[in-house]
Structure 1
Amino acid sequence: MFGFSRKATVLAGAMVLGLAAPVSAQDKGQVNVVCVLAEWCDAMRAPFEAATGYRMEFLNLRSNEALVRIRAESSNPTFDAYFAGTGDPHFVAAREGLTEYHDSPLKSELLPDLVSAVDGAYLPIYANPIAFAVNPQVLEQAGAPMPASWRDLANPAYKGLMGMADPNSSGTAYVVIATLVQLFGEEEAFDLLAAMHQNMASYTRSGSGALGPVGQGELGIGVIFMSSIVREIQNGFPIEIVLPEEGTGYEISGVSLVKNGPNPEGGRAFIDYVLSKEAQDLGEPTGNPQPKANMNATLPEGAPEMSKVNIIDYDFVTYGDPDLQSRLIGRWTSEIFPVPR
């Protein structure tokens, strides 16, 4: 996913040489996008060009790499828009003045809760809640009940049956910690994390690392972003999605307008297209089955409607603060992880 596409390679070469592709009399010029989800960008390119008259080129980078690139080019930006990836880098880019808000006419089609949650830092394209991936057969064989809540995960019946990522290497696991702190307060959250620790078979490096063992019947419960569970269900694995009854945290991916980019009108046109039902419906076929921000977008197979998910009032600004993040992860690492299981 994270290699350069053909179009991304062309764009990178042109930028190194300081050249721009020739503009024909029939088009409106070129829009340069830094894109975290290459397959989705590649699928959007032709219909975007046909709909708007702009040509689109993109460079595929990981979320934090995209932020570093935009920051490094702030005095002379080469990109017009920044698409997808986790929400934190979009917040940081807005806070540092690297991006600016585009008040898109498509905003009225977006889920209001997602728009308000990002508070004018960027525009949302999808939400991805934390959920439990559950293998009912494994739990039945172990005589363990189906979980319904975060507090249920403290049940000793799940000992050795649970998996989650390590927050030192995974943003997914940090969202879990931040969610519990916001739901229960820090002390009760860490008591719950300590009880969950006793049930963990292992901690994985990646956020979705526990999903394979759950699908293969090695674990009964994985705490993971919902989109990964949806993909596993679509691939035929015998697992179910459980959304905790107290509510759950989530990430909001988005799209941002790069400040002082070479083609700001083209960047705005790209953002407007990205927010459309047509563009959002290209997400699932390219491996992105998250519930989309556009209320008219087709719901991915196996995913619950986002409006029916009990999401908490997640404080993205506070819990995206690097100092708080470092402190909470440090506390987990010193107080929870070393305790024998």
Structure 2
Amino acid sequence: MKTTTIGLLLMAATALSATSAKAAGTLNLICSADVVICEQMKGDFEKDHDIKVNMVRLSSGETYAKIRAEARNPKTDIWWAGTGDPHMQAASDGLTQEYRSPLLDQLQDWAQKQAEGSGFKTVGVYAGALGWGYNTEIFKTKGFTEPKCWADLLNPAFKGEIQIANPNSSGTAYTALASLVQIMGEDQAFDYLKKLNANISQYTKSGSAPVKAAARGETAIGIVFMHDAVAQTAEGFPVKAVAPCEGTGYEIGSMSIVKGAKNLDNAKIWYDWALTPAVQSRMKDAKSFQLPSNKTAEIPKEAPRFEDIKLIDYDFKTYGEPAKRKELLERWDREISAKAN
């Protein structure tokens, strides 16, 4: 039987409709947290929604660079997690767009301030303090004394025993750099980092890699966010987390919608979903022990509590500014990286 013209038109319309529906059901996500929580978030979201998530795991610094490079033709819809400074920089550079979630008033003050400070182009999804984790078995075998303060990490006994990430690629390491500058003053902080460099065996790409290396016995100490050290302890590794005595900075893990997102409606769906207490309470199941931003989300019992840590009044706005970030990273490259072991 011959297919009529009307029949052909109907078939074409049906095919077009199916294609449009498929296109509407996708979301391009960059996740800057640990791969385990990234996979859990992706899986949970796809179970709850008829939306396929195309996820890439990149560190915060790498994500910022990618979004900036693709600004004229964005390939990413939403950026979830990773330290807040690069998110703030992306907001300042006009790479992300304003969105005020209806769940905003359910969030902790620090999460709301992060949103307000960025012109509502990013929002806090979790928080965690900076510190380090050390391998207790290595310490016992080698007779090391527990480092309780930033100053203790300069102990010559730790030569080649410490790892920290590169602040160009890692939001964790940039937070460490900016924290030390705020604690000590810029020149003194760089003097400290030059001395610390003698004890560093490797500047890793990923922020959590140093404490994973410590857990495996490949290094004694990893400078990381404390919840990453606690995660290794929860996995059964001989790792102890430390909050430095002089004070420390902290991260506000953030979330941003990319300006020009091709799947904007789906990005907003993810954004609102990720701020719900049910979703944030699930993070502990992936051994992610940050403090959730939703006030009613369950705080993991393992999570390092802010009230137990000497925190500085970390200046997210200043150290998230593109000019300040560029200045500090260039100085780090010139004075630290160029002289690295």
Match of 2:110 among 104, 107, 113: 113
1:298-321 CA distances to partner (integer Å, 9 max, x unpaired)? 233532134544432222333234
In the alignment, the residues of structure 1 paired with residue 259 and residue 18 of structure 2 have an alpha-carbon distance, to the nearest angstrom, of: 19
- 1:208 maps to 208
In the alignment, the residues of structure 1 paired with residue 214 and residue 321 of structure 2 have an alpha-carbon distance, to the nearest angstrom, of: 32
- 1:59 maps to 54
Distance apart, 1:223 and its partner CA? 0.6
Aligned CA distance change for structure 1 residues 78 and 116 (closer, same or farther; 3 Å) = closer
| Aligned partner of residue 210 in structure 1, secondary structure | helix
8 Å CA contact retained: 1:111, 1:294: yes
Q: Percent identity?
A: 33
In the alignment, the residues of structure 2 paired with residue 302 and residue 230 of structure 1 have an alpha-carbon distance, to the nearest angstrom, of: 7
TM-score, structure 2 normalization: 0.75
Structure 2 spans left out of the alignment, 5+ residues = 1-16, 32-37
8 Å CA contact retained: 2:138, 2:220: yes
* Higher Rg: 2
8 Å CA contact retained: 2:114, 2:124: no
Distance apart, 1:294 and its partner CA? 1.7
Distance apart, 1:227 and its partner CA? 3.6
Deviates more, 1:306-315 or 1:170-179: 306-315
In the alignment, the residues of structure 1 paired with residue 322 and residue 95 of structure 2 have an alpha-carbon distance, to the nearest angstrom, of: 18
8 Å CA contact retained: 1:35, 1:41: no
| Aligned partner of residue 102 in structure 1, secondary structure | coil
| Aligned partner of residue 241 in structure 2, secondary structure | strand
Deviates more, 1:316-325 or 1:277-286: 316-325
Give the root-mean-square deviation of aligned CA atoms: 3.5
1:12-69 CA distances to partner (integer Å, 9 max, x unpaired)? xxxxx9942179xxxxx7574534234312212333x4xxxxx433221343476258
In the alignment, the residues of structure 2 paired with residue 267 and residue 330 of structure 1 have an alpha-carbon distance, to the nearest angstrom, of: 34
Distance apart, 1:70 and its partner CA? 6.8
1:60-99 CA distances to partner (integer Å, 9 max, x unpaired)? 134347625873346xx994x5433443453344334454
Question: Residues 128-139 of structure 1 correspond to what in structure 2 (within 5 A)?
Answer: 128-139=128-139
8 Å CA contact retained: 1:163, 1:221: yes
1:221 lines up with 2:221 in the alignment: yes
The amino acid of 1:160's aligned partner reads G
- 1:187 maps to 187
Structure 1 spans left out of the alignment, 5+ residues = 1-16, 24-28, 50-54
| Aligned partner of residue 291 in structure 2, secondary structure | coil
Distance apart, 1:234 and its partner CA? 1.9
- 2:248 maps to 248
Aligned CA distance change for structure 1 residues 31 and 206 (closer, same or farther; 3 Å) = closer
In the alignment, the residues of structure 1 paired with residue 30 and residue 203 of structure 2 have an alpha-carbon distance, to the nearest angstrom, of: 30
| Aligned partner of residue 71 in structure 1, secondary structure | coil
8 Å CA contact retained: 2:82, 2:171: no
The amino acid of 2:104's aligned partner reads K
The amino acid of 2:88's aligned partner reads F
| Aligned partner of residue 71 in structure 2, secondary structure | helix
- 2:35 maps to none
Distance apart, 1:271 and its partner CA? 2.6
1:83 lines up with 2:80 in the alignment: yes
1:265-297 CA distances to partner (integer Å, 9 max, x unpaired)? 665454332211111123233454433212322
8 Å CA contact retained: 1:41, 1:58: yes
